[in-house]
Amino acid sequence: MKGRMIVLDDVAGREAAALLVDGKLQDLLIENDSAPRPGAIFRAICDRPLKGQGGMMLRLPDGETAFLRQGNGLAPGQPILVQVTGYADDGKAVPVTDRVLFKSRYAIVTPGKPGINVSRQIKDDDARERVLACAHEDGVSDGFGLILRSSCADANDADIIEDIAAMDALAVAIMADTDGPAEALTEGDGPHVLAWRDWVEPAQVVTEAGGFETHGVLDQLEDLRSPAIALGGGAFMYVEPTRALVAVDVNTGGDTSPAATLKANLATAAALPRALRLRGLGGQIVIDVAPMSKAHRKQIEAALRTALKTDSIETALVGWTPLGHFELQRKRERLPIAAVLSEVLG
């Protein structure tokens, strides 16, 4: 099937959403209730500072702990509002920030950061003026800022204004709720809401039960169990998570032509963001590229940078190691999907 399709379904009792482009799975969200969702907001209690790191350990409800990287000026026992930024490795504290954001499809309200900003992706002057006029219709509360997302470009004015008002009202209520014991104030968005919020390009939306099976999503989930990913021309890569990092091994396969290694490495750069996104992998990524001349390194970096521009998860290009590996640092916005697949697919 040609075009974009969003499939909203329930798999093995878990809420799930899939984004297909021309029938190929491009993004996947599956509920996992074993950890707080990224975006969830808590009233946490400061527990103890981590000397030498400048951070603070926090207490969350139900005996969970969180780590705030910048804990200067905080005292043990002090309540603080924090937002979950990602998933933690096993045995580690939940990563949080005290820079709380309220994010929806069209608007992001930023408490403590006044001002109105429009996404740079909205380049048309008339569209920018129209979107700004929506922002000034009612505005946001004192001390709050507003970011208007790229999705505003094709949205109705009434929808934008309604979205701004809803996020502002939520921000006012949450930011005023600072006193009391550790408590979950919002739970973060689930897969269906995240799909509505972030997959904003025009698409056919399927909501009927069994959509994952009908549209071939389950078959493509089965492919995610294997670490091997074909790159074309006989080349392939292995994407394998360990406790310390995610290892990516690039192989040329049966291609012995002079350009084989460069072609395999360029194909890896193009395919890697999707492979990591679908498998829910983040943290330190180490790519063991196929052997090639150092003169081609800038070409590989440029290909990676281009591929990551359209990726929804923040990823930093760290650089080359003395052994010739390339390193990335990727935000842990999702839990690795391997454990979920075993439950969903059996």
Phi-psi label, residue 107: left if phi above 0, alpha if psi -120 to 50, beta otherwise = beta
Above pLDDT 70, what percent of the chain?
A: 99
Q: What is the DSSP letter of 60?
A: -
CA distance 183 to 178: 10
pLDDT of 145 strictly over 80? yes
Domain ranges of the chain: 4-31+199-217, 41-97, 102-189, 224-341
Q: Report the range of poorest mean pLDDT among 109-118, 294-303, 336-345.
A: 336-345
3-state DSSP percent of the chain in helix, strand and coil, to 5: 30, 30, 40
Q: What is the pLDDT of residues 242-254, one digit of tens each?
A: 989 999 999 998 8
Q: What is the pLDDT of residues 71-89, one digit of tens each?
A: 788 999 999 999 999 988 7
Q: Report the range of poorest mean pLDDT among 1-15, 97-111, 267-281, 316-330.
A: 1-15
Residue 345 · residue 222 · CB < 8 Å:
yes
The HSE-up count of residue 285 (CA atoms within 13 Å, CB side) is 27
Q: What is the CATH number of domain 224-341?
A: 3.40.630
pLDDT of 1 strictly over 80? no
Q: What is the pLDDT of residues 38-54, one digit of tens each?
A: 999 999 999 999 877 77
Per-residue pLDDT, 104: 97
Rounded alpha-carbon distances, angstroms, from residue 281 to 34, 83, 244, 316, 325? 17, 21, 12, 14, 18
224-341 and 102-189 share a CATH fold? no
Per-residue pLDDT, 245: 95
**Once rounded to an integer, what is the mean pLDDT over residues 207-215?**
94
CATH number of this structure's domain 102-189, picked from the four choices 3.30.230, 3.40.50, 1.20.58, 3.10.20:
3.30.230
Beta bridge partners of 11: 14
CA trace torsion 315, 342, 221, 278 (10° rounding): 0
Rounded alpha-carbon distances, angstroms, from residue 331 to 240, 271, 273? 17, 18, 12
Backbone angles phi, psi at 31, to 5 degrees: -60, 140
Which residue, among 250, 280, 254, 252, has the nearest Cα to 86 in the 3D structure? 280
pLDDT of 91 strictly over 80? no
Q: Given pLDDT bands bounded at 50, 70 and 90, which one contains residue 334?
A: confident
- Give the end-to-end CA distance of the chain in Å, rounded to a whole number: 28
Q: Given pLDDT bands bounded at 50, 70 and 90, which one contains residue 342?
A: confident
pTM surpassing 0.75? yes
Superfamily of domain 41-97, CATH level 4: Nucleic acid-binding proteins (2.40.50.140)
The 246-251 sheet, strands edge to edge: 228-232, 235-241, 246-251, 283-288, 326-330, 315-320
Residue 106 · residue 149 · CB < 8 Å:
yes
pLDDT of 346 strictly over 70? no
**88 CB neighbour count, 10 Å cutoff:** 19
**127 CB neighbour count, 10 Å cutoff:** 14
pLDDT of 340 strictly over 80? no
Backbone angles phi, psi at 208, to 5 degrees: -70, 145
Q: Report the range of poorest mean pLDDT among 49-58, 193-202, 291-300.
A: 49-58
**302 CB neighbour count, 10 Å cutoff:** 12
